[in-house]
Amino acid sequence: SQTIHQWPATLVQPVGSPLSLECTVEGTSNPNLYWYRQAAGRGLQLLFYSVGIGQISSEVPQNLSASRPQDRQFILSSKKLLLSDSGFYLCAWSGSLAGHEQFFGPGTRLTVL
Residues forming the site for another protein (CB under 8 A) = 32, 34, 36, 38, 43-46, 49, 51, 57, 59, 88, 90, 92, 94-95, 98-104, 106-107, 109
Minimum CB–partner distance for residue 81 and another protein (Å): 19
Which of 79/106 has CB closer to another protein?
A: 106
Which of 8/106 has CB closer to another protein?
A: 106
> What does R_g of the chain's alpha carbons equal in angstroms?
13
Minimum CB–partner distance for residue 109 and another protein (Å): 7
Residue 94's beta-bridge partner residues?
32, 102
Q: How many residues does the chain have?
A: 113
Which of 42/79 has CB closer to another protein?
A: 42
Phi, psi dihedrals of residue 22, rounded to the nearest 5°: -120, 145
For the stretch 89-111, what's the b/e string if a residue is b when 16 or more beta carbons lie within 10 angstroms of its beta carbon? Answer: bbbbbbeeeeeeeebebebbebe
Minimum CB–partner distance for residue 44 and another protein (Å): 4
**Strand pairing class (108-112; 10-13):** parallel
Which of 75/87 has CB closer to another protein?
A: 87
Minimum CB–partner distance for residue 79 and another protein (Å): 26
Residue type, 8: P
